[in-house]
Amino acid sequence: MYKYNNYSTILTTIFLFISIFQVLYGAPLSESDKLIVADHHRRWRLEAVPEPNSPIQQLTWNTTIEAEIQAHIDGCAKDSSPGALFGLYSEWKSSSSLSFSLNKTLKSVIDLAPTYDWPNKACLPGKQCTPYLAAMSNASRSFACAKSTKCGLLKTVFLCSYYPAGALPGVDPYKQKVVAPTPTPTTTPKPTTTPAPTTTPTPTTTPKPTTTPTPTTTPTPTTTPKPTTTPAPTVPPTPSPTPAPHPNETDWRTKGILPPVRRQANCGSCWAFGSVAVIESRYILKNGGDPNLLDLSEQQAVGCFPYGCQGGAVWRVFNGLLESGIQYEVDQPYLADNGTCTDNPIKPHIKWSSWNYIPATKDAIIQELKNGPVAAYLATRDTAWSNYKSGIANCQPIHTDTNHVIDVIGYNPVQDYWIIRNSWGSSWGLGGSMLLNASNDNCLMLKYRPAVVHF
């Protein structure tokens, strides 16, 4: 009986402790909490060290982001939020056990400032500075944070997301103020006597040109004998002028740099195929070679990054394989299945030097196309895609989000259409490609930022 009462007391104490914890720390952020979060961000940006070249943009609280990330962490998802996966947000997340301190959590972010290496535009070796970069990026204009205790006993998850995304590889969070060094003044020695000024030398006189020699007499040309009759001259036909190409017209299908059209089969790996095709084509564009002989491994991306055949993001391939590079298809063949993550460092890899997003605007994509194909997101839940065979396709205005990754390989300014390359095999569409109406954005290609790699 004593033991039972003792255990009962212990269980009651634990229950009370958990209840108190839930009361104190379990609720989502209160309005006063949000003010604290916003005030920290305001002060970080006002008091930034090193000093910015111009004031850093102040952030506004975004209730749409707040709702999205609250649902995300309440669902106990271990990966980044959907907005971050699609490159829409940059974000950071903190998990703590037992007591949670909002102020300490926020302070831990700005305390990461010394771990950013400004000269090399990267975190110091072995350091994690991404939360600082996300919070301080001058590219972002709005943000929100959320808190949840639904995913573990006495565990608190805190997440902040920023829009548009900053914290890009190789990009400073803001521009530093450049202070010109003050030169050390040289001491002018005081002469005992004022020296006579040195005489300014007389400039040398430009010599007169030598007299132009009298040219030798031009010999009298021999007289062409006069024909008895003057034949009528043959008038050549006036050639029709070749029209100059439009400065914004691009079609990489005609340049010999595109690999063969691939087929992703029954696996949601469009993100891997779209990314790898850009790597392949831009590698050929930079280094030359036969694009039919270059076949890189989509399976490496599918097997090594979260969700695999259930979906993914372009940035995971471009950034996640930046250091190691990507293997050839022959060394890791496509399975149309998640498989396992394998990367044999002994096998040859192809590496790129950097990658970046480009603005999700029509003009920005048109300009970037001049440098090579672009990986982009769009919506394909439409008969314009399922039934496409030829002509200029036009999506219906029914889409609310994207679900597919393709490569933009050209633009025709005369008829205003994109040239799209898909990963559904060469029997689909125009040999695996599509002409897509660019006069509207019904397919939502401009919703998320496209991306490219550089060699």
Q: What is the pLDDT of residue 13?
A: 60
Determine which one of 72, 138, 404, 443 is catalytic. Answer: 404
- Amino acid of residue 9: T
Residue located via tokens 């970037």: 368
End of a domain among 130, 163, 196?
163
The phi and psi torsions of 324 (rounded to 5 degrees) equal: -80, -30
Q: Which residue shows structure tokens 């010109």?
A: 180
CA distance 416 to 413: 5
Strands 374-378 and 354-357: unpaired
Q: What is the reported pLDDT for 186?
A: 43
Same domain, 293 and 438: yes
Q: Which of 300, 246, 242, 291 is nearest to 269 (CA)?
A: 300
CATH number, domain containing residue 38: 3.40.33.10
CA distance 395 to 381: 9
Q: Which pLDDT tens digit goes with each residue over 361-406?
A: 999 999 999 999 999 999 998 889 988 999 999 999 999 999 999 9
Q: What is the pLDDT of residue 153?
A: 75
Report if residue 147 sits inside a domain: yes
Report CA 118 to chain centroid distance, whole Å: 20
Supply the mean pLDDT for the chain.
83
Q: Answer whether 404's CB lies under 8 Å from 380's CB.
A: yes
Give residue-wise pLDDT tens across range 44-53. Answer: 998 888 889 8
> Does 210 reside within a domain?
no
Residues 357 and 260 in one domain: yes
Helix (H) or strand (E) holding 318: helix 314-320
> Which helix (H) or strand (E) covers residue 157, if one does?
strand 155-163
C-beta separation of 165 from 88 below 8 A: yes
267 and 404: one domain?
yes
Most confident of 12-26, 89-103, 113-127, 288-302: 288-302
Q: Looking at 120, 143, 163, which one is the last position of a domain?
A: 163
Specify whether 419 is located in the same domain as 273. yes
Distance from the Cα of residue 333 to its chain's centroid: 27
The type of residue at 331 is D
Which of 452 and 155 is assigned the larger pLDDT?
Answer: 452
The DSSP element (H or E) to which 32 belongs, if any, is helix 31-46
Q: What is the phi/psi pair of residue 211, to 5°? A: -60, 135
404 is catalytic: yes
Q: Is pLDDT at 4 greater than 60 in this prediction?
A: no
Residue type, 126: G
Largest interatomic CA distance in the chain: 143
> What pLDDT is recorded for position 193?
41
Which residue has 């831009």 as its token pair?
A: 282
Assess whether 40 carries a catalytic annotation.
Answer: no
Residue 393 backbone dihedrals phi, psi, to 5 degrees: -80, 155
Q: What is the percent of the chain where pLDDT is above 90?
A: 58
The pTM of this model reads 0.52
- Domain containing 403 equals 250-454
Side-chain-side CA neighbours of residue 445 (13 Å): 28
Considering the domain boundaries, does residue 6 fall inside one?
A: no
Q: How many CB atoms lie within 10 A of CB 86?
A: 23
> Could you tell me if 400 and 297 lie in one domain?
yes
Domain count, the chain: 2
Question: What are the tens digits of pLDDT across the range 176-214?
Answer: 887 655 444 444 344 444 333 333 333 333 333 333 333
CATH classification of the domain holding 264: 3.90.70.10
Which comes out higher in pLDDT, residue 25 or 148?
148
Q: Is residue 13 part of a domain?
A: no
pLDDT band, very low/low/confident/very high, at 16 (cuts 50, 70, 90):
low
| Beta strand spans in 204-348 (E) | 250-251, 326-327
Please tell me the least confidently modeled range out of 8-22, 51-65, 229-243, 278-292.
Answer: 229-243
Tell me phi and psi for residue 419, to 5 degrees: -105, 115
Q: Are 261 and 425 in contact (CB under 8 A)?
A: yes
Does 155 fall in a domain? yes
**Which residue of the set 270, 304, 395, 443 is catalytic?**
270
Confirm whether 408 is domain-assigned.
yes
Give all strands (DSSP E) within 62-120, no chain letters: 90-97, 116-117
> Quick check: is 239 in a domain?
no
Same domain, yes or no: 159 and 255: no
Same domain, 267 and 142: no
Least confident of 74-88, 214-228, 264-278: 214-228
User: Within 13 Å of residue 455, how many CA atoms lie on the same side as its CB?
Assistant: 16
Selecting among 62, 138, 422, 442, the annotated active-site residue is: 422
Residues paired with 122 in a beta bridge: 117
Q: Report yes or no: 59 and 69 within 8 Å, Cβ to Cβ.
A: no
Distance between terminal CA atoms of the chain?
76
pLDDT for 27: 79
Q: Which amino acid is at 107?
A: K
Output the 3-class SS for 282-316. Answer: HHHHHHCCCHHHCCECHHHHHHHCCCHHHCCCHHH
Residues 254 and 158 in one domain: no
Clarify whether 422 is annotated catalytic. Answer: yes
Say how far apart CA 104 and CA 50 lie, in whole Å: 22
Q: Does residue 238 belong to any structural domain of this protein? A: no
Of residues 88, 83, 453, 454, the one with CA closest to residue 275:
453
Residue 2 has pLDDT above 90, yes or no: no
Residue where one domain finishes, among candidates 137, 163, 189 = 163
Residue 84 near residue 98, CB atoms below 8 Å: no
